[in-house]
Amino acid sequence: MIVAPLAPPQNATPEELKDVHAKREAARAFEALFVRKMLASLEKTSKPGATGEAGGGGAGGIYASMMVSSLADSVTQSGGIGLQDMILRALEPSHPGGGSKK
């Protein structure tokens, strides 16, 4: 399911534009964290022996961690898994229980 991204109102003030941008960035960062945790779990369980080290060396674990982080960022920047869109939709003021009421 693809949800239209949160858009600022037509006559948005600079403060409202900043708020929309901050919400988008927070939702993107959360999705990246979520994907990173999923991939890290997958990476740990897919290794022979599941010891947490790639290739048997200590540096292999660090490399694998960097690779998981980079892959999660790439997935999120190229559309992600849809979590960012759902978070933004929930934050819209028109959504029941979403957004801030002033």
- Domain count within the chain: 1
Tokens representing 31? 């999705």
**pLDDT for 85 beyond 70:** yes
pLDDT of residue 56: 54
- State which residues form the domain around 72: 14-46+53-91
If one compares 60 and 34, the residue with the highest pLDDT of the two is 34
Model pLDDT, residue 1: 46
* The model scores a pTM over 0.85: no
Residue 32 lies in a domain: yes
- For the chain, give the percent of residues with pLDDT over 90: 11
CA distance 71 to 15: 33
What distance in Å separates the CA atoms of residue 18 and residue 37, rounded to the nearest whole number? 29
Tell me whether residue 101 is in a domain: no
